[in-house]
Copies of this chain bind each other. A is one copy, B any other.
Amino acid sequence: MPNAQDQQQTGPSDPAAQTQASPRGKAPAEAGAVVISIDAMGGDLGPEATLGGVAIAARETPALRFIVHGPEGVLSPLIAKLSLGDCVDLRHADRAVTMEDKPAQVMRSGKDTSMWSAIESVRDHEADVAVSCGNTGALMAISMIRLRKLKGVNRPAIASFWPSRSPAGWNVMLDMGADVKADAPDLLTYALMGTSYARNALGLTRPRVGLLNVGTEEHKGRAELKEAFEMMTRAQEAGGFEFVGFVEGNHLPADRADVIVTDGFTGNIALKTGEGTAKFVSELLREALTSSLLAKLGALLAMGALKRLRAKVDPRRANGGVFLGLNGTVVKSHGSADATGFAAAISLAARLAQSGFGAKLAARVALALPEGQDGAIQDAPASAESETSQ
């Protein structure tokens, strides 16, 4: 079970924090609107891509409001050019975290970065959710020290979508690399957080949860996996998920589990292996279809179908790893995201904010706390019941 000493709660469900006046000014929105904090810097394609994404998202959902963080001299002209003045509040931050910066450095001396400032807006309850396409390690480190871990969570996790044969078209996988280790109670927490995420992001009432292993037989794998297998079997009823047992690597894109749970080391390797394999096969296909005149003609005729296929596996459609287990929601967009990709990450962030995801996740995780440790556990089933929109 997670250790109570590790936990602090200063988030949206903490009444003391809610009544504090924000030290950084008012949010730029009318009451009730969703406010999204944007780290405009740190991506491979610069603020043109992030603000381009804001412009797309603002066009699609005019009610959204944004707090955009970065150097004023760079961002102001872009905001004017994209006519975003009405929905964007600019917060000046001198520096950007680079992809080479080490998380420990950024934690010590990163207060003047756009990333830090973007997380601060969530901490101060000015914004409902933050989006960044910067350095993942630094973003997780800043999020951990500023937002703090949720009560009951020992190791936060990053959850991503995986294109799949499941009815929703996607599976959720976590942890994708927040931590290189996870013990059995961590894996159970991941199952609960993944369940909550699948309910709110994919609309699944009772997601199927699978535990990633080297075989589906119960006797296989490492000791912590056998222990987690027992814990998940016991927790599935109260946790609102169906435990389908061990799953293997080939089940990641299959219609077997909606939520796939693993440690962050394995999850990161699997994610990149899947991406690398898809890229490799796509490149070979492209080469094959340009290898002869006949093949080129065939490709021309099949172009409509091939384009639809491409759209189906377009990674930009599912852009956004979500940090789970903190007092506040943070969406990590891919570092190489263009405006379309960044807009997809904003859209995911907005959907989560609108559904009140943060409070629902907290209630679900509380289900795993030992009885009596926390008063919230009595309320948890009720709020968990209302978690899905279905």
Assuming A214-B264, A265-B221, A309-B288, is B249 touching A276 (CB within 8 A)?
Answer: yes
Q: Is B294 a contact of A271 with CB atoms below 8 Å?
A: no
Assuming A273-B274, A278-B281, is B313 touching A288 (CB within 8 A)?
Answer: no
CB-defined interface of A265-280 with B at 8 Å, one 1/0 digit per residue? 1101111111111111
Majority secondary structure of chain A interface residues (helix, strand, loop or mixed): helix
Q: Is A168 part of the binding interface, using a Cβ–Cβ cutoff of 8 Å? A: no
Interface-facing stretch out of A84-92, A232-240, A251-259, A344-352: A251-259
Q: Is A374 part of the binding interface, using a Cβ–Cβ cutoff of 8 Å? A: no
Interfacial chain B residues near A306, Cβ < 8 Å:
288, 295
Q: Is B265 a contact of A266 with CB atoms below 8 Å?
A: yes
Assuming A265-B222, A284-B313, A301-B294, is B270 touching A273 (CB within 8 A)?
Answer: yes
Q: Is A312 a contact of B284 with CB atoms below 8 Å?
A: yes
Q: Is A298 part of the binding interface, using a Cβ–Cβ cutoff of 8 Å? A: yes
Q: A315 to chain B: closest CB distance in Å?
A: 12
Q: A224 to chain B: closest CB distance in Å?
A: 11
Q: Is A177 a contact of B214 with CB atoms below 8 Å?
A: yes
Q: Is A385 part of the binding interface, using a Cβ–Cβ cutoff of 8 Å? A: no
Interfacial chain B residues near A287, Cβ < 8 Å:
309
Q: Is A109 part of the binding interface, using a Cβ–Cβ cutoff of 8 Å? A: no
Q: Is A181 part of the binding interface, using a Cβ–Cβ cutoff of 8 Å? A: yes
Q: Is B265 a contact of A250 with CB atoms below 8 Å?
A: no
Q: Which B-chain residue is minimally distant from A212 (CB atoms)?
A: B269
Assuming A180-B214, A309-B284, is B270 touching A252 (CB within 8 A)?
Answer: no
Interfacial chain B residues near A301, Cβ < 8 Å:
294-295, 297-298, 301
Q: Is B305 a contact of A291 with CB atoms below 8 Å?
A: yes
Q: Is A266 a contact of B266 with CB atoms below 8 Å?
A: yes
Q: A211 to chain B: closest CB distance in Å?
A: 12
Q: Is A308 part of the binding interface, using a Cβ–Cβ cutoff of 8 Å? A: yes
**CB-CB nearest 6 A-B residue pairs:** A249-B272, A298-B302, A298-B301, A250-B276, A249-B273, A295-B305
CB pairs A–B below 8 angstroms (10 shown): A165-B280, A177-B214, A214-B269, A248-B269, A253-B280, A274-B277, A298-B298, A298-B300, A298-B303, A299-B302
